[in-house]
């Protein structure tokens, strides 16, 4: 929740969430697809509700779901990295009243990301 503007100050005079750089919508769409794939794949139970082929004696139904544990974590990590690129970070001053000029790297912020 934002704080109200001081008397004589317009809401747009202070930096806020609307001053953030625009997000790359293409990368966010790819991240959304990566997050949706495991959900869709596992909801289609009829595509993997069978015993054959077995893998080391384990029925397909079991090892297919177990495979998605690793695939889901890989897709989630990839989506996270894409979102970091798509929504760049703009450092602010310690009190949050203004954006830091320049690239924002100084002793206080270095290594925090």
Number of domains in the chain: 1
Q: Is residue 80 part of a domain?
A: yes
> What is the model's pLDDT at position 67?
95
Q: Is residue 68 part of a domain?
A: yes
Q: Is residue 106 part of a domain?
A: no
pTM comes to 0.64
Q: Are 74 and 23 in contact (CB under 8 A)?
A: no
Q: Name the more confident of 88 and 44.
A: 44
Q: Is residue 55 part of a domain?
A: yes
> What is the model's pLDDT at position 88?
79
Domain around 71: 22-86
């Amino acid at each position: 929740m934002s704080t109200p503007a001081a008397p004589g100050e317009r809401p747009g005079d202070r930096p806020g969430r609307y001053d953030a750089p625009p997000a790359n919508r293409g990368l966010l769409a790819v991240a959304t697809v990566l997050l949706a794939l495991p959900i869709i794949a596992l909801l289609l139970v009829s595509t993997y509700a069978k015993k054959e082929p077995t893998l080391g004696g384990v029925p397909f139904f079991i090892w297919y779901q177990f495979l998605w544990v690793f695939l889901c974590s890989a897709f989630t990590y990839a989506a996270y990295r894409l979102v970091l690129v798509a929504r760049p970070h703009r450092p602010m001053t310690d009190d949050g009243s203004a954006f830091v000029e320049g690239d924002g790297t100084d002793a206080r912020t270095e290594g925090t990301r």
